[in-house]
């Protein structure tokens, strides 16, 4: 499988490449990335034939959208697919007065949650201006999950299913966006949204990976039935499935706990037997699911990106997947790539 292979994006007319470029790192998450490295990664992704890019107002308080737009805006607009998100408005403020964590040297904007109709319209237009693009192909309602909103989540979800839904449906009717959906860290929230509204797609972060497949129970089958596309972000679980169980490995944006470290070590032992790089398995596993057309990978350097592009294409024998299943490291019913 090549990163440039194209797949239909659910019920829409869009086609995405099986490998997508994730832009959370170029929002300077945890530590800064130079402008040249940011642009270099996007140009390398382009040269490799990658044509799907995912960004959000949240990433670096606008910095990721600015950088993504800078690198893409002179490309043929019909030659790539871009997703961004709504749910946070950015308001200029002095850097010294902003709590940027976990971002670093981000853009000088304060972030304010807003899932109302007017807030969604404003967020959408602000994003297009930061990107300097005239349309978004995909727009996700961002972070209406318990992971981000804690006990406020039920109220936030209700507001978004009304305000964001109405605004995004209108924008879709006006052809300013082609596909609308929800981008969160919990499949349960995606499922609740699809049960209430006719969304085209979802960005599920970290919840369908080599380390966890609970979304196979009900959510992914529902997406197949409704022909809703699911793209997976955080598919390395923020690092450990790319680096392996090394000291300091990250799981869900924090140091990996012991149980995750030992599970990854067991997966790595199977990888070693078959000479399969762990990240190759992590990426190829995800896009073997028929509802998932694309794996959105974050990278910090051109070297990381080039390795991921190579690993995406690494041949993996069928026996490798069978061993993961027989050792209880992968669900029996998980679809796996055909060699």
Ligand X SMILES: NC(=O)c1ccc[n+]([C@@H]2O[C@H](COP(=O)([O-])OP(=O)(O)OC[C@H]3O[C@@H](n4cnc5c(N)ncnc54)[C@H](OP(=O)(O)O)[C@@H]3O)[C@@H](O)[C@H]2O)c1
Instruction: Using CB under 6 A, list all residues that contact ligand X.
Output: 22-25, 54, 140, 142-143, 183-185, 203, 205, 233-239, 242-243, 250, 279, 296-300, 304, 307-308
CB nearer ligand X, residue 25 or residue 163: 25
Catalytic choice (52, 53, 54, 251): 54
CB nearer ligand X, residue 183 or residue 293: 183
Strand 81-86 versus strand 52-54 pairing type: parallel
CB nearer ligand X, residue 1 or residue 323: 1
Shortest Å distance, C-beta 144 to ligand X = 9
Q: Is-catalytic flag, 85?
A: yes
Shortest Å distance, C-beta 83 to ligand X = 8
In angstroms, the CA 149 to CA 34 distance is 31
Q: State how far the alpha carbon of 70 is from the alpha carbons of 37, 82, 301, in Å.
A: 13, 13, 18
Shortest Å distance, C-beta 181 to ligand X = 10
The answer for residues whose C-beta is within 8 angstroms of residue 154's C-beta and 6 or more apart is none
DSSP 138-163: EEEEE--SHHHHGGGHHHHHHHHHHH
Q: Is-catalytic flag, 59?
A: yes
Q: Report H helices in the chain.
A: 35-47, 63-72, 117-131, 146-149, 153-173, 187-196, 219-226, 240-243, 258-274, 278-286, 302-312, 318-326
CB nearer ligand X, residue 242 or residue 270: 242
> Which residue number places its CB atom closest to ligand X?
298
Catalytic choice (8, 34, 75, 85): 85
Contact 95, 63 (CB under 8 A): no
Catalytic choice (59, 115, 208, 251): 59
Shortest Å distance, C-beta 278 to ligand X = 10
Coil, strand or helix at 275: coil
DSSP secondary structure code for residue 256 in this structure: P
Map tokens 């979802």 to a residue: 202
Shortest Å distance, C-beta 96 to ligand X = 26
CB nearer ligand X, residue 296 or residue 322: 296
Tell me which residues are annotated as active site. Answer: 54, 59, 85
């Amino acid at each position: 499988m090549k990163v440039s292979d194209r797949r239909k994006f659910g019920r829409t007319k869009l086609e995405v490449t099986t490998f997508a470029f994730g832009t959370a790192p170029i929002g300077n998450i945890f530590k800064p990335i130079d402008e040249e490295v940011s642009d270099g990664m996007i140009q390398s992704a382009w040269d490799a034939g990658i044509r799907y890019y995912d960004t959000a107002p949240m990433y670096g308080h606008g910095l990721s959208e600015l950088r993504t737009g800078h690198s893409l805006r002179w490309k043929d607009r019909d030659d790539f697919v871009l997703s961004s998100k709504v749910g946070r408005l950015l308001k200029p403020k002095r850097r010294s007065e902003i709590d940027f964590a976990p971002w670093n040297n981000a853009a000088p904007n304060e972030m304010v949650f807003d899932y109302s109709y007017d807030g969604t319209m404003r967020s959408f237009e602000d994003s297009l201006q930061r990107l300097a693009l005239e349309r978004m192909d995909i727009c996700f309602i961002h972070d209406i999950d318990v992971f981000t909103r804690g006990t406020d989540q039920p109220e936030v979800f209700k507001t978004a299913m009304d305000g964001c839904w109405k605004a995004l449906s209108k924008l879709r009717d006006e052809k300013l966006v082609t596909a609308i959906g929800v981008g969160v860290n919990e499949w349960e929230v995606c499922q609740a949204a699809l049960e209430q509204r006719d969304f085209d797609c979802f960005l599920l972060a970290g919840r369908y990976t080599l380390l966890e497949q609970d979304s196979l129970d009900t959510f992914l089958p529902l997406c197949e039935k409704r022909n809703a596309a699911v793209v997976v972000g955080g598919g390395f679980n923020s690092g450990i499935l790319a680096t392996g169980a090394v000291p300091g490995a990250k799981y869900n944006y924090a140091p990996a706990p012991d149980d995750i470290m030992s599970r990854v070590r067991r997966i790595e032992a199977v990888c070693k037997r078959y000479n399969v790089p762990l990240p190759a398995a992590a990426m190829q596993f995800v896009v073997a699911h028929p509802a998932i057309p694309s794996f959105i990978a974050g990278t910090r350097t051109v070297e990381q990106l080039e390795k991921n592009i190579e690993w995406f294409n690494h041949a993996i024998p069928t026996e490798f997947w069978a061993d993961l299943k027989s050792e209880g490291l992968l669900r029996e019913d998980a679809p796996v790539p055909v060699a």
